[in-house]
Amino acid sequence: MWLGLKVKETDTFHSMTSKPSALKRAIVALLVAVPLLGGATFSVLAGIDPADAWSATDNREGAPAVIDDSLLIDARRATGEANSQAGFLVNGTKQLTEGTKKISGRSGEVTGAVTAAADGSKKLSDGLVQLQAATGQLGDGATKVADGVEHAVNQLVTFEVVRGQIVGTIDRYLDDLKGATDADSVELREQLTGFRDQASSFQLDEGTRKQLEELRDGSREIANQLHVPGYAYHDGIFSATKGAKELHDGLNQLNAGVDEALAGVGELESGAVKIDDMAKLTKEKIAAIQRAMPITQAGTPEAEAAGVTRTFAPMYAFLISAGVLLGAALHRRGDREQWWLSALVVVGLGGVATILSVILGSGIEAVQILGITGLAVLLAASALIGGMLLCRILGPRIGTVAAILGSLAQVGIVGWAWNSATTSAVDTAWLALSSLTPVHYSTAGLAALGNSGGVSTMVGISYGVLLLLVVAGVIGLKLLPAPEMEQALAWEGDYSEEFFDEYDDGADVVDADEEYLDGEYADGEYIDDQSYRDKTN
C-alpha cells in the first residue's frame, strides 16, 4: 500500500519511481564540485587571504570593529612606528648575520694558512739549525785552508826575497869546485849549476805576488766569516737560526690563538643568529599586533587621510551569508509548478541580505549595493538548487537532511576561518577547506564590496564561483529530472517524503496514509496504473 493505496507492481510504476543511475548521479556531483575546486585552487595558489577584503594598505590589517575608533588612534600609530623600527632592526641583524657567516665561512682558510705557516717555520728553523752546524764545520775547514794558503804564499814571497842569497851561495860553491876533477865534485858542480839556473829563472812578478797575497787574505776572510764570532756571516747564521726558532714558537702560539679566535667567531655567529631570530620574532609579534588592530572606521578624519570611504565588518558579511544559506536550505522543495515560490524565496533572501548590509555597513553606495544583492541571490539560488540535487541524488528524505547538515557544516568551517582571519593569519589548510564552500565566496564578496580595501579579484572570484555553481546546478537538474510519480504526488498534496522508501521489488508497497484523495481509496484496495491516472487526472 502506498499513501493509503495498495499499488500493483507494473513496468509503468517502475518508470515513474525509478532513481537515476549511479554514474549519472556521480557525474552531476562532480559537475557541481568543479567550480568549488577551481575557486579553492586559485585562491590557494594566488595567496588570497580573507584580510585582503578589508585591508586598505599592502600590509594586512585587522577587520573593522564596532568600537570607538578614537580609542585606537594612538595604538595604531605606536604599532606602525614599532613595526618600522623592527624592520630596521631586522635589516641590521641580517647584515650582522651575513657578516659573521662570511667570517665563519673563511675560518677554514685562516686555520689552514696559519697551520701551513707554522709548519713552514718549523722547517725553516730546522734547516737553519742544520745550516748553522754545517757553517761551523765549513769554518773549521776554511780555517785550515786559509792557514795552508797563508803558509804557501808566505813561502813563495819569502823565497823571492832570499833568491839572490841562494844564487850567491851557489856561485861561491861553484867557485870552490871549479878546479876539482874527482867524480863527486864534478857531479855536485853539475847539480849546483842546474839548481842555480832554476833559482835564477824563478821570479815572481808584481801581479803574481799580488794575486797570491789576495788569495791568502781571501781565504782567511772566508775562514773568519764562517768560524769567527763577530763576523757578519757567522753572526747572521746564528741570528737567523734564533729568529726562525722564535718565529716557529710564535706561529705555534698564533695557531692556538686562532683556534680560540675561531671558537669565538662561532659563538659570535651563534649569537648573531639568535639576535636575528629575536629581531624577526619581535617584528612578527609587532606585525601580529598590527594585524589584529582593526582598520579605521569610515567617516573619521583618520579614515579620510587613509583613503577609507566605506567599512563593513566581515563577520557581518558571514552572518548575512549564513542566514541566506540556512534560509535556502530550510525552504521546502517542490516540483516545477512551485518554481515561482522558490524564485520568490531567492529574491527575498537577496533583498534581506542587501538591507542588512546597508544597515550594518558604513559608506556603502549604489554600486556596492547591486553587487551585494547579486551575490546574495546567487548564494540563495545555488543553495536551493544544490538541495534539490541532493534530494534527487540521495532521495528526498536523505537529501533534505544532507542539505541541512551540509549547510551547518559550511557555517561552522567558514565561521571559524573568517573569525580567526579578523585578528590573525589563518593556516592555509583551513583557508583551502573554507574555499570549498559556497558561503565562503559569498562572505568574501560581501566583505570586499563593503570595504574600501577590498580587491576586485576577490569579488570576481566570488561571482564566478557562485554563478558557475548555479549553472552547474541547473544542468544537473536537467540531467536528473524528478520522477513522474513524485511530481504527481507533490501536485496533489503536501508530499515531502521519499515516496518509494519502503518499496521493495517483488512486494506490495505499504504506507499508513489512508486519507489520500479524500479517502476514496480504502486500505486494502488495489489500483492499477490506468485507474491511478484516471483518478489523478
The domain limits of the chain are 19-67+309-482, 70-293
- Residue 411 CA to residue 430 CA, distance in Å, equals 13
Task: Read off the C-alpha cell for 120.
Answer: 713552514
Task: Read off the C-alpha cell for 14.
Answer: 517502475
3-state secondary structure of 13: helix
Domain spanning 70-293: CATH superfamily: Methyl-accepting chemotaxis protein (1.10.287.950)
The alpha carbon of 281 is separated from its chain's Cα centroid by a whole number of angstroms, namely: 16
Tell me the C-alpha to C-alpha distance, in Å, between residue 480 and each of 22, 184, 394.
11, 163, 11
Q: What is the DSSP letter of 501?
A: T
- Residue 492 CA to residue 317 CA, distance in Å, equals 40
3-state secondary structure of 7: strand
3-state secondary structure of 502: coil
**Average pLDDT along the chain, 537 residues, taken 10 residues at a time:** 39 48 84 89 85 69 58 57 68 75 65 72 78 77 79 71 72 74 75 74 68 78 79 80 79 72 69 75 67 58 62 89 90 60 88 92 87 94 91 87 92 92 82 93 91 79 94 90 52 40 40 38 41 45
Q: Which of 473, 310, 443, 457 is nearest to 376 (CA)?
A: 443
Would you state the pLDDT for residue 347? 92
Would you state the pLDDT for residue 128? 74
Residue-wise over 17-31: b if at least 16 C-beta within 10 A, else e? Answer: beeeeeeebebbeeb
Would you state the pLDDT for residue 283? 66
Which residues sit opposite 362 in a β-bridge? Answer: 311
Would you state the pLDDT for residue 355? 94
Which residue has 520568490 as its cell numbers? 344
- Residue 525 CA to residue 504 CA, distance in Å, equals 19
Q: How many CA atoms lie within 13 A of 401 on its CB side?
A: 6
Would you state the pLDDT for residue 279? 72
Would you state the pLDDT for residue 381? 94
- Residue 536 CA to residue 491 CA, distance in Å, equals 10
CA angle 76, 292, 449 (to 5 degrees): 95
Task: Read off the C-alpha cell for 128.
Answer: 737553519
